[in-house]
Amino acid sequence: MKKHHPFAAALALALLGFACTAEARDEIRIVGSSTVFPFSTAVAEQFGKTGGFKTPVVESTGTGGGFKLFCAGAGEDTPDISNASRAIKASEVEACAQNGVTEITEVKIGYDGIVLANSKKHGQFALTVKQIWLALAKTVPVDGKLVPNPYQTWAGIDPSLPAEKIEVLGPPPTSGTRDAFVELVMDKGCEEFPEVAALEGDAKKETCQAIREDGAFIEAGENDNLIVQKLEANPKALGIFGYSFLEQNADKLQGSQMDGVAPTFETIADGSYEVSRPLFFYVKNAHVGVVPGVKEFVAEFMSEKAIGEEGYLADKGLIPMPDSERDEMISSAVALTPLSM
């Protein structure tokens, strides 16, 4: 008989687990971009500490994955808020609408700079988007014809650059940082060549955005800390990642100048460092009033002490919006004005 006791207890335990699943959700669920994750979690923690609500649960699923979950329907088993490192796409809005998620509020929280950085053991790079495109594109124009990228050293691109092998560590195509880098640097860089600018449609897109696969560009995974460690070990390599990682590792790394401007908090904020992108979160209006605290969470996120110039998100590396833009955003966010489709 003795043998049966552990089994019985185990089964009872399992049943208990199933039995208490029916209760209503009382904490906010947030999914989405890994870039917005550090900011969203900081607000969530603050919100849980100070307000009368439970701390929201934040998942880092990537921007696209976040919208997929967010748009799966309106109901307690779907998230209330989705973070995004780019604006929502028309196709995603459509998918949302098909599943009954018709009212979404778009909230811009600030900007994030993308930097090309290297170890301080090496000199600082001063690059232009044109040079970066030449260094990283899969095919480049030589004598009027598109050929597979022949450049192996930086000096080969421009004699003013060091005579060293091109080695760039960057995020994989699934990353929002990679999307933004392609859009802000690669797309701009290729426009400087009349041969490429003359191309049309998909051919142009392919030429501009394709990144070389011969070893000069190394996909280093989604983990930005890993790139930081690899840069320390290899001073000749450059790495592509978000500004917040540069700020935290300023004793070891330096950002390269882009078209003559070095990435600093000030230059990204005033727009003179051009490789920066807006960050957003999206609220499901149908959940406001159903899941407790959604409105209050938005208010906390948009408060001066969070996204203001000296707010705690600025300490985490978020570049705040200019005052006028922020005031406008705060009023539309607090009123939960839905996105016009």
Partner 1 sequence: MTDLAVRPMALRRPDLSATRLRRRYAAERRFRFYGILAVAVAAGMLGLLLGSILYKGYSAFYRTEIALPVNFDPAVIDPAGTRDPAVIAAADYAKIARDSLNARFPDVSSRADRRALSQLLAAGTDLRLRAIAMKNPAIIGTTATVELAASDDVDMLMKGRISRAVGEADRTLTDKQLAWMDELEADGLVAYSLNTTFFTAGDSREPEEAGVLGAFIGSILTMLVTLALAFPLAVATAVYLEEFAPKNRWTDLIEVNINNLAAVPSIVFGLLGLAIFLGFFGLPRSAPVVGGLVLALMTLPTIIIATRASLKAVPPSIREAAYGVGASSLQVVTHHVVPLALPGILTGTIIGMARALGETAPLLMIGMVAFIVDVPKGFTDAATVLPVQVYLWADSPERGFVEKTSGAIIVLLVTLILMNGIAVFLRRRFERRW
The binding site for partner 1 (CB under 8 A) comprises 3, 6-7, 9-11, 13-14, 16-18, 20-21, 23, 25, 27, 29, 34, 37-38, 40-42, 44-45, 48-49, 54-55, 57-60, 77, 120, 222-225, 244-245, 247-251, 310, 316-317
CB 259, min distance to partner 1, A: 22
Kindly compute the dihedral angle of the four CA atoms of residues 8, 14, 17, 20, in this order, to the nearest 10 degrees. -60
Residue closer to partner 1, measured from CB, 28 or 135: 28
Whichever of 59 and 158 has its CB closer to partner 1, that residue is: 59
Q: Take residue 126 and report the two structure tokens written for it.
A: 């001063």
C-beta of 9 vs 335, nearer to partner 1: 9
Give min distance, CB of 94 to partner 1, in A.
22
Angle at 41 between CA 334 and CA 288, to 5 degrees: 35
Cβ distance to partner 1 smaller for residue 79 or 189: 79
What would the 3-class secondary structure string for 124-184 be? Answer: CCEECHHHHHHHHECEEEECCEEEECCCCEHHHHCCCCCCCECCEEECCCCCHHHHHHHHH
Q: How far is the CB of 293 from partner 1 (least distance, A)?
A: 14
| Residue 113 C-beta: closest distance to partner 1, Å | 13
3-state secondary structure of 251: coil
Which stretch of DSSP H or E encloses residue 219? Answer: strand 217-219
Q: With respect to partner 1, which residue has the nearer C-beta, 77 or 202?
A: 77
Note whether 167 and 122 are within 8 A (CB).
no
Least distance (Å) between residue 336 CB and partner 1: 24
List, as one string, the DSSP characters of 261-310: B---HHHHHTT-S--EEEEEEEEEGGGBTTBTTHHHHHHHHTSHHHHSTT
CB of 120 to partner 1, least distance (A): 8
Closest CA to 66 of 88, 38, 42: 88
273, 113 Cβ separation under 8 angstroms: yes
Task: Tell me which amino acid residue 197 is.
Answer: A
Nearer to partner 1, 133 or 243 (CB): 243
Return the CA Rg of the chain: 23
Least separation in angstroms between CB 308 and partner 1? 13
Smallest distance, partner 1 to C-beta of residue 68, A: 12
Contact 34, 60 (CB under 8 A): yes
Residue 112 or 167: the one with the smaller Cβ distance to partner 1 is 112
| 23 or 143: CB nearest partner 1 | 23
Pick the closest to residue 243 from 80, 35, 52 (CA basis): 35
